[in-house]
Structure 1
Amino acid sequence: MEHALFSEKLVKLSLTGLTKDQIINEMVEVLWKDGRLSDKEQFTKDVYAREAEITTDLEIGAAMPHAKSKAVCQPSVAIGISQKGVIFGESKEKSYVFFMVAMPENAAKEHIEVLGKVTGVLLEKENITALKNARTEEDVLQLFCQEKKEVINNHSDVLLLGATGCTSGVAHTYLAAKALQKAAGEHGVQIKVETNGSIGVENSPTAGEIAQAECVIIASDRAVEMSRFDGKRIIYAKVKDGINKADDLIEKALNGEGEIYHHNGDRSNSQTGQKREGSIYTALMNGVSYMLPFVIVGGIMTALAYAFGGQVTDTGLVIPDGSFWQKIADLGSAGMTLMTPILAGYIAYAIGDKVALAPGLLGGWVAVNGSFYGSESGTGFLGAIVAGFLAGYVVKAMKKIKFPEAIQSLVPLIIIPIASSLIVSFAFIFVIGVPISSMMTALSDMLSGLNGGSLIILGIVMGFMQGFDFGGPVGKTLFMFSIGMMAQGQFEFIGAEAMAIPVAPIGMAIATFMDRRSRFFNDEEKASGKAALVMGFCGVSEGAIPFAAADPLAVIPASMIGSAVATTMGLLFSITDAIAWGGPIVVVLGLTNHPLLAIICMLTGSIVTALVYYAIKTARTKK
């Protein structure tokens, strides 16, 4: 029996390895012997690199080591059975069934689909036992290669629809879809489940299927497009409920539970639960999810441009006009400029649906562009978050207004977008922005007053300011103060700030590396950690913004404390910086007077940030 992914030659019924390393090497050898790999050593290295991020032990008697690698000749899945069992992860529970998924380097979509296929089969606990007891390779392949239909009873006249999505858009999205399909089949009803994953929306229902559906189950932590479900009965749940309580959700749908969705009413997107806080978290994570690509693309382009094209001048690290690297820097700057309006826009979208997108984007732009209200640096990403929520809830409130029938068609297209955009923008221009601008002036005056006093107090204040908003208005106020001191021939202040500039992104990168069991970070956030490390090295503090936007109450205090440690150490060691820039790159370029001490300052502050973050998250989890 052969399959594009599976083959009898890729099944080994009696693994002999007694350790994790031996199992991995044994299964790589299976792939190698069948000609599925072009470079055995490279693929093994890639598998271990994936394991270093987080163990692939599923803690259900099975493990799934996998990797995307340039050494893979064709997509393949090797299956191995160990009768004695091997401790593969940190749970101390033995795994007996192993799947090694090998995917080409650019096969992102197919990689996720295969992982979903394998984990979907494992939702049925009896399959683990069946695999352990398999006598032939054919027995194994029949279990994994059979085409499982979404609809068990094709003669049922009941059709349900589902939509699943998790914040990272990977494993839980597809596990929930599989669980709902399995539960529906056991009840003898048809179901079609849409997945809102990291590779986009898949398996969307047609207009005819929506019209026919008795109920729609939204088991999602991501915002789902809801306007198409106008007039349908909806059951809302968390994505984990879609996995663990799929049977209950199907029963509720069949028993007539749920609420009728009205597109112009209160409910415009899915929620994570019954509590109000659930929708707030969903909206925030929706904004962060859409913002991430702009942070990563813009930040890394900016970092690379300064790392390879930057030249040291009296005014700082400058990229020559008209050069290739200036074009790269301009693209990076565009990405970094767009990220905060995108954050605001998609927070608003998650609350008020598509009609809230434009007010959110415009409000976010006004919030971060201080020229609208006389501020040099705007309100930063925190202002964008405020703008997003304000726009979303203003739109949501306006939807409740009963407009005359004569203008009903203009309400979603013109009236609500324009009115809500003006409300949000004017709120920042005339109410929110002015106090912020005044506060920045007061902070600058405070720093000038502290100059000449205790170095420890000054270092703590500078660190708190630098670590508060990651290149936002507070950090820029400190930056302007440091530049002013440079003009007077005092380079210790910019030197101290340079120590703190990379602390937040590098600190959060360290935190993601420490999180081997994925207690606090999902796969998407761990990928952001690698990008943050690159940005931090090149002095781009905005690399920490995705983490701060997702959990400001943990990230901001951790960043402030770590930055205070770095700036205080910088002042005490009298570290100077020859240019207005920061991060390890200034050490590499030879612009600091004490290179080794400078690295120690930055690394210490970053480690403190990671440890404080962990302490806050652990305490909150226990509570």
Structure 2
Amino acid sequence: MNALKSLQKHLMTSTSYMIPFVVAGGILFAISVMLSGEAAVPDAGWLAKLNQIGAAGLALFIPILGGYIAFSMADKPGLAPGMIGAYLANEIGAGFIGGIIAGFLAGYVVNLLKKIKLSPSFRTIGTIFIYPLGGTFIVGFIMVFLIGEPIAIFMERMTTTLNSMSGAAKIPLGGILGAMISFDMGGPVNKVAATFAQTQVDTLPFLMGGVGVAICVPPIGLGLATLLFPKKFKSEEKDSGIASLLMGGVGITEGAIPFATADPLKVIPSIILGSVVGNISAFLFGALNHAPWGGLIVLPVVEGRFGYLISVLLGASATAVALRVLKKDVVEDKLSNSEVREEDEFEDLDIKIDNL
């Protein structure tokens, strides 16, 4: 259990460093396509240059993922072996799974190298020369000559299997990914599902089609519920509803967190239901999202936009209706706190005339 928690910690550390690359690259990529007016990558003019900038961010995020896993495990000496190993994994075709394995391998190797005793005068050289060089050679050798090719074959088969899914076969996968996305609204479980889809955006864009919907459904569904069923929410929650809608539009699931914090037992099941409905619907409609991001901001790079929009609407409506059923009407307290305490005290007294 401790080992599992340690692995999760290192993975989450790397994901937190990776996300800015995905955000910057993905949004610039989406903007370039949006301004071109076509659901295709622009190939000429300044929009092609803008797309090139976005593509650079997306090209870096697997090496960043591997590098910061190793950094979390072995500090700075692990960065170069982790990034180079993950880069090689991506080049070989091992994808994000290869990048993750390279990161953990680099952290482990560098920590082993650190156990080699060096004289005090060589410790600085060890940090900037011996450990990175030795770690990069060992990890690179293992990735290129030993495990990279088998991982690439596994990734190819997984891609083929997922691509061959159609109709009802996609429902279980859509349900799992949708539930994971909304379960902790940007936390570790969310990041695992989002990273899985984001790193497959070039080969399996239908994954991001569903996950892109699931990402925005919780905040949009909650915002919609505050508009349709205002009696279910306090005044400050109603004020947060508009902000929640906007955050959902730009693909920020965390917009649901204030509502979930206030009433987790009602809100979390509702947003899970909505994300599951939205994700499955997008899969069945065949929506393809070519940007590693979610929400409505990516519509310019979505194939099957009508299905994508309908899926967002279905998911948000499912969340809103679930909240309508689960939440009670908010009753404003008319009595002051002191009056409520006095009233409670009188209700607790059990005075009978026969006892006097």
Give the TM-score category using the shorter length.
Answer: 0.5 to 0.7
What amino acid sits opposite 2:33 in the alignment?
Answer: Y
How far is 1:395 from its partner?
0.9
Find the partner of 2:65 among 338, 343, 347. 343
8 Å contact from structure 2 (residues 66, 102) kept in 1 = yes
Q: Within the alignment, does 1:435 sit opposite 2:139 as a pair?
A: no
Quote the residue 1:554 is aligned against. Answer: none
Change (3 A) 1:333 1:279: same
Any unmatched runs of 5+ in structure 1? 1-274, 480-493, 517-526, 537-556, 610-623
Quote the residue 2:117 is aligned against. Answer: 402
How far is 1:398 from its partner?
1.1
Supply the distance in 1 between the matched residues of 2:157 and 2:51 (Cα, whole angstroms).
32
8 Å contact from structure 2 (residues 86, 99) kept in 1 = yes
1:42-61 equivalences in 2 (<5 Å): none
Aligned pairs, number:
266
Deviations 1:365-399 (A, max 9, x none): 223x2x3x2x2xx422x443333232222111111
8 Å contact from structure 1 (residues 341, 365) kept in 2 = yes
Q: Within the alignment, does 1:321 sit opposite 2:37 as a pair?
A: no
What amino acid sits opposite 1:322 in the alignment?
Answer: G
Superposed CA RMSD: 4.8
Any unmatched runs of 5+ in structure 2? 179-192, 226-232, 234-242, 253-271, 320-356
How far is 1:588 from its partner?
7.1
Change (3 A) 1:442 1:335: closer
What amino acid sits opposite 1:569 in the alignment?
Answer: L
Quote the residue 1:423 is aligned against. Answer: 138
How far is 1:599 from its partner?
1.7
Quote the residue 1:292 is aligned against. Answer: 19
Find the partner of 2:36 among 301, 310, 329. 310
TM-score (norm. length: structure 1): 0.35
8 Å contact from structure 2 (residues 248, 295) kept in 1 = no
What amino acid sits opposite 1:345 in the alignment?
Answer: G
How far is 1:317 from its partner?
1.5
Q: Within the alignment, does 1:354 sit opposite 2:66 as a pair?
A: no
Structure scoring higher RCO (CA < 8 A, sep ≥ 6) equals 2
Change (3 A) 1:608 1:338: farther
What amino acid sits opposite 2:40 in the alignment?
Answer: L
How far is 1:301 from its partner?
1.7
What amino acid sits opposite 1:502 in the alignment?
Answer: G
Change (3 A) 1:363 1:326: same
How far is 1:279 from its partner?
5.1
8 Å contact from structure 1 (residues 503, 559) kept in 2 = no
TM-score (norm. length: structure 2): 0.56
SS of the residue 1:317 aligns to: coil
SS of the residue 2:40 aligns to: strand
8 Å contact from structure 1 (residues 294, 339) kept in 2 = yes
SS of the residue 1:502 aligns to: helix
Supply the distance in 1 between the matched residues of 2:9 and 2:221 (Cα, whole angstroms).
23
Quote the residue 1:334 is aligned against. Answer: 56
SS of the residue 1:360 aligns to: helix
Quote the residue 2:107 is aligned against. Answer: 392
Supply the distance in 2 between the matched residues of 1:580 and 1:277 (Cα, whole angstroms).
33
What amino acid sits opposite 2:212 in the alignment?
Answer: P
1:210-609 equivalences in 2 (<5 Å): 280-307=7-34, 309-312=35-38, 316-323=39-46, 325-367=47-89, 369=90, 371=91, 373=92, 375=93, 378-380=94-96, 382-402=97-117, 410-443=125-158, 445-446=160-161, 455-457=167-169, 460=172, 469-473=196-200, 476-479=202-205, 499-500=209-210, 502-507=212-217, 533-534=249-250, 565-570=280-285, 584=296, 592=304, 595=306, 598-604=308-314
Percent identical = 30
Supply the distance in 2 between the matched residues of 1:435 and 1:591 (Cα, whole angstroms).
32
What amino acid sits opposite 1:425 in the alignment?
Answer: G
Change (3 A) 1:563 1:391: farther
The higher radius of gyration belongs to 1
How far is 1:400 from its partner?
0.8
What amino acid sits opposite 2:44 in the alignment?
Answer: D
